[in-house]
Amino acid sequence: MNTIPVVPFGGYLHPRSEDTEPDLTRVGPRTPGGEYLRRFWHPIAMAAELGDKPLPVTALGEKLILFRDQGGRLGLVHRHCSHRGTSLEFGIISERGIRCVYHGWMYDIDGTVLDTPSEPPGSRLKHSLCHGAYRTREYAGLIFAYMGPPDAVPEFPVYDALTWPEGNRLVAYKIPTPCNWLQMHENAADPVHTAYLHTIVSGVQFTPAFGALPELEFMETPLGLLCIATRRCGENLWIRASDVILPNVAQFGTGVVDGTREKTALCAAFTRWITPVDDTNCLVIGVRHFNDAIDPERLGREEDIGLGKLDLMGQTDERPYAERQRSPGDYDAVVGQGPIAVRADEHLSSTDKGVAILRRQLRTGIREVQAGKPPAQPRRYSGGSVPTYNNETILRVPEIAGDDRLVRRDFGHRICSLALDCAELPVGERQAHFAREVRRMQADGAFYDPLKEKAGA
């Protein structure tokens, strides 16, 4: 942190810093952060964007072409032809692969050169190189890419919240955002902003319940960290515990809670990635979940979710500027930090613990990759999906005047510890166990009780 002199009207004296965390923020090939990020799968487009023409995309600072060949296979290749560099956005999609228009070279989806038609018979040229290509995977309406070393492909992580409950409906969305990926991801590790930005300062953007100041706790998990915000809503306590998953994934509860209805939902309303496009642009890309556990009243709006839109206020620049100034949302607050937020000029406060943990975890991962070790990949159930910890829990827990902060803290801690402790159970069984145990704790009055504390002391 830069030292700032305590001098009124002293703007002149302040340091002017550039990006001071390039290892965390830079994403291009051969940069420390870029090498680390290349060890994971990242969504780069919505499947719905891909028609019968090649789609130019940029990811991790690399210009690429995404296409689906006539055989139905996805291809993701370097944009510029290996012959003399024409963009394959003008390529002809074939039964097998894509053909460059300039001199007809043809590439398979793995970069194999299938044809160099202007070469004489018997030419070995096409066997002497492979065009740059990456593995892809289509899942839940999103197209993912793995852009790391071809001999170290990690398993594709299917998070349990994507698969539970049975019949969970996933709707894909993608919001191009003009700032560095990290500051947008850090927004997920900063739950107190939901009270200020989304309610107290800007006016109610989600529901008035967000305006109650939450008790915060940050628990490290096998995936990253769980950011726990526990609020009182009248007779009820409400936990909004959000997964922040390394390197760039997060899950959240709904934005529609008013706190009146009890709920024990160990699952998510949003699973989203922040995919770096380049150093100063990113994609907020993911899926909204529709199921009765997370949104029993079905208040989500599917028709407002998709390319450049989300059914949550303030996630894009679509609103008129004057309105965004009156009531800025996440998009405005985070893009407003600048193209790359300058960490040396920050003054982290007590509520920024989650941001600090996230940065430490990312630095550790980057150092591991620099040392030649693969970064830790998520643990799985025997069934194959990855246990996550996101939960939205609302229960009737009576207020204890004077001690209610401790009640909230204890409630959030116990419930989220339970979510961590039952991670080995298979999907479905785990969520049922969680709901049962939460109710048992409620019935037993297991949460903080000053009289019990005194008796035990």
Give the residues lining the site for ligand FES (CB under 6 A): 81, 83-86, 100, 102-105
Question: Could you tell me how many residues make up the chain?
Answer: 457
In the stretch 278-317, what mask flags binding to Fe ion with x, by CB under 5 A? ----------------------------------------
Contact between 330 and Fe ion per CB under 5 A: yes
- Contact range with Fe ion by CB under 5 A, out of 100-108, 163-171, 322-330, 390-398: 322-330
Give least dist CB 86 to ligand FES, A: 4
Q: Is the peptide bond before 426 cis (omega within 30 degrees of 0)?
A: no
Please say which residue, 89 or 330, places its beta carbon nearer to Fe ion. 330
Per-residue CA distances from 298 to 157, 161, 254, 411 (Å): 27, 17, 11, 27
Please say which residue, 295 or 330, places its beta carbon nearer to Fe ion. 330
Give least dist CB 268 to Fe ion, A: 15
Please say which residue, 103 or 353, places its beta carbon nearer to ligand FES. 103
Please say which residue, 116 or 254, places its beta carbon nearer to Fe ion. 254
Of these partners, ligand FES, Fe ion, none, which one is at the site of residue 103 (CB under 5 to 8 Å by kind)?
A: ligand FES
Please say which residue, 85 or 398, places its beta carbon nearer to ligand FES. 85
Give least dist CB 57 to ligand FES, A: 19
SS3 of the chain: the string is: CCCCCCCCCCHHHCCCCCCCCHHHHCCCCCCHHHHHHCCCEEEEEEHHHCCCCCEEEEECCEEEEEEECCCCCEEEEECECCCCCCEHHHCEECCCCEECCCCCCEECCCCEEEECCCCCCCCCHHHCCECCEEEEEEECCEEEEECCCCCCCCCCCCEHHHHCCCCCEEEEEEEEECCCHHHHHHHHHCCCHHHHHHHHCCCCCCCHHHHCCCEEEEEECCCEEEEEEEEEECCEEEEEEEEEECCCEEEECCCCCCCCCCEEECCCCEEEEEEEEECCEEEEEEEEEECCCCCCCCCCCHHHCEECECCCCCCCCCCCHHHHHHCCCHHHHHHCCCCCCCHHHCCCCHHHHHHHHHHHHHHHHHHHHHCCCCCCCCCCCCCCCECCCCEEEEEECCCCCCCHHHHHHHHHHHHHHHHHHCCCCCCCHHHHHHHHHHHHHHHCCCCCCHHHHHHHC
Give least dist CB 330 to Fe ion, A: 4
Please say which residue, 331 or 434, places its beta carbon nearer to Fe ion. 331
- Contact range with Fe ion by CB under 5 A, out of 22-30, 292-300, 327-335, 416-424: 327-335
Residue 223 CA neighbour count, 13 Å, CB half: 25
Of these partners, Fe ion, ligand FES, none, which one is at the site of residue 283 (CB under 5 to 8 Å by kind)?
A: none
Give least dist CB 91 to ligand FES, A: 8
Binding-residue total with Fe ion (CB under 5 A): 1
Give least dist CB 19 to ligand FES, A: 36
Of these partners, Fe ion, ligand FES, none, which one is at the site of residue 83 (CB under 5 to 8 Å by kind)?
A: ligand FES
Please say which residue, 46 or 81, places its beta carbon nearer to ligand FES. 81
Of these partners, ligand FES, Fe ion, none, which one is at the site of residue 330 (CB under 5 to 8 Å by kind)?
A: Fe ion
Of these partners, Fe ion, ligand FES, none, which one is at the site of residue 100 (CB under 5 to 8 Å by kind)?
A: ligand FES
- Contact range with Fe ion by CB under 5 A, out of 36-44, 48-56, 157-165, 329-337: 329-337
Give least dist CB 122 to ligand FES, A: 19
Give least dist CB 385 to ligand FES, A: 42
Contact 126, 119 (CB under 8 A): yes
Please say which residue, 104 or 132, places its beta carbon nearer to ligand FES. 104
Please say which residue, 118 or 260, places its beta carbon nearer to ligand FES. 118
- Contact range with Fe ion by CB under 5 A, out of 57-65, 131-139, 315-323, 324-332: 324-332
Q: Which positions touch Fe ion (CB under 5 A)?
A: 330
